[in-house]
Amino acid sequence: MTDTMSRWAAAYTLVGKIEAPWSLGNWLAPTMTWFMVPFAATESSGAYFHAAQVAYLLLAGVAWVYFTSSPRPWWIALPFLIPLVFVYASFIVPDVWTLAAILAIVGCLYSMERGGRILPIIGFAFSCVVLFGFRQNSLVLAPILWFYVATAHVPTKVLKGVLIAISFGALAVIVLMPRAIGFQGPNSSAAAPAWELVGALRVAKERGLALDPALSLDGIADTAKAVENHSFVTIDPLLWGPAAAVSGATIMEHADEIKARWLKLIVTNPALYVQTKLRIYECMIGLCRGYLQVLVGCEPPPVFLNGNLKTCEPGGQAAKALVVWNKAPAIFRYVLLPAFWLPLSAIAIFFGWRQYSRYDRMLVVFAVCYLASFFILNQAASFRYLFPTYVIFTAYQVRFLASLPTLMRRGNAT
């Protein structure tokens, strides 16, 4: 992943192994990057960080086994046997950590409601930093978390207050730590609004609608080129490559003006904005041409990392393994589209809801809200953004299908 390589560049810069000051900007949420810094100081940084990621995911999976109401929770492991999920769980990307954090937070609440204290509190604090810091859209889960803490079956109100205070402390760490260790500059908060603004200009052009010139990119970038480069699948053609119309630096430099024009578009042309969002949603659920598929490539690390990171090499064993793994997504591509698995998940969760424990329901609500956050603001119709929800929903699909024979026998008995 290009983003992952940029994160390693920042981590290696902070420990003095390379000089890449451009990597210390705030285009990417920096929390995951400063988690990588201690590992960057070692000789096998990628391997150690990957081991930590897998260990965290395994511990979170164990917590899931304990808090679910199913007496034989073998179905939890099955989604990870899907080739695509197995490969993505091996990526150093924030989506894997986000899945683990959601599972771990539910597991920590479960443990504390049964008398656990020190370790669950430490795990809760760590997972709050991961959840809210690795993916900025995860902030929508904060009110949900506070609700569950407030209604938790813990013995004292003091503990509830401590947990809420910990969550606020995690948010403070996420905000303050990057600048303290060297990250600087504006953030990328205007990226998604810029993508939506240009998308609306594209829809207006396709429909022959005349818009106020004040809603264009005039004075910021080439509006015509931006509209031509725009894709409802991903922001990448707009930002990256030799034909990029609006660079990341431009977006950060003109962030306030871009967001102002985007908000003005929403207020003055709500129907056009709705049409734009529907086009985006169409791609997000996999119904438009060019939807970002799930095939995984293999590239050596970029030269700016100065040989500090060992990754997949073309022609190597890992590359050969990826060729094999890629066959499954290529064959079952339609099954992996949200338009297919979301309705099935809704059916499975609806009919299985009564059998769920309080913690199963808590996990499902977190997954639903996390998925919904990408429908508020997003920059791509990418499978990896939906990875946490896909894994959780697929597991409960399997649980429902496994319970069907029992439900049918009960129905026949009555």
Whether residue 258 has pLDDT greater than 60: yes
For residues 340-351, average pLDDT = 95
Record the tokens describing residue 166, joined without a space. 């910990």
pLDDT, tens digit (0-9, with 9 covering 90-100), for 300-324: 888 999 999 888 777 888 888 888 8
Query: Torsion angle, CA of 84/88/89/94, rounded to 10 degrees?
Result: -150
Instruction: Give the pLDDT of residue 224.
Output: 92
pLDDT, tens digit (0-9, with 9 covering 90-100), for 385-409: 999 999 999 999 999 999 888 767 7
Question: What are the residues facing 26 on neighbouring strands?
Answer: 187
pLDDT, tens digit (0-9, with 9 covering 90-100), for 291-302: 766 777 787 888
Instruction: Give the pLDDT of residue 414.
Output: 57
| C-beta of residue 262 within 8 angstroms of C-beta of residue 194 | yes
Choice among 24-33, 260-269, 289-298 with the minimum mean pLDDT: 289-298
Whether residue 290 has pLDDT greater than 80: no
Question: What are the residues facing 187 on neighbouring strands?
Answer: 26
| C-beta of residue 129 within 8 angstroms of C-beta of residue 354 | no
Give which of 188, 185, 146, 211 is closest to 377, Cα–Cα.
Answer: 188
For residues 354-362, average pLDDT = 95
Distance in angstroms (rounded) separating the CA atoms of residues 89 and 106: 20
Instruction: Give the pLDDT of residue 410.
Output: 65
pLDDT, tens digit (0-9, with 9 covering 90-100), for 65-82: 999 999 999 999 999 998
pLDDT, tens digit (0-9, with 9 covering 90-100), for 72-125: 999 999 999 988 898 888 889 999 999 999 999 999 999 999 988 899 999 999
| C-beta of residue 217 within 8 angstroms of C-beta of residue 229 | no
| C-beta of residue 341 within 8 angstroms of C-beta of residue 113 | no
Q: Please write down the HEC assignment for all residues of the chain.
A: CHHHHHHHHHHHHHCCCCCCHHHHCECCCCHHHHHHHHHHCCCCHHHHHHHHHHHHHHHHHHHHHHHCCCCCHHHHCHHHHCHHHHHHCCCCCHHHHHHHHHHHHHHHHHHHHCCCCHHHHHHHHHHHHHHHHHCHHHHHHHHHHHHHHHCCCCCCHHHHHHHHHHHHHHHHHHHHHHHHHCCCCCECCCHHHHHHHHHHHHHHHHHCCCCCHHHCCCCCCCHHHHHHHCCCCECHHHHCCCCCCCCHHHHHHCHHHHHHHHHHHHHHCHHHHHHHHHHHHHHHCCCCCCCCCCCCCCCCCCHHHCCCCCCCCCCCHHHHHHHHHHHHHHHCCCCCCHHHHHHHHHHHHHHHHHHCCHHHHHHHHHHHHHHHHCCCCCCECCHHHHHHHHHHHHHHHHHHHHHHHHHHHHHHHC
pLDDT, tens digit (0-9, with 9 covering 90-100), for 46-58: 999 999 999 999 9
Sign of torsion over alpha carbons 371, 391, 195, 303: positive
pLDDT, tens digit (0-9, with 9 covering 90-100), for 215-257: 999 999 999 999 999 999 989 888 887 778 888 889 999 999 9
Q: Is the pTM of this model over 0.85?
A: yes
Instruction: Give the pLDDT of residue 79.
Output: 94
Return the percentage of the chain with pLDDT > 90, whole number. Answer: 67
Give which of 245, 240, 163, 158 is closest to 199, Cα–Cα.
Answer: 245
**Backbone dihedral region for residue 336 (phi beyond 0: left; psi -120 to 50: alpha; all else: beta):** alpha
Confidence of residue 127 (pLDDT cuts 50, 70, 90): very high
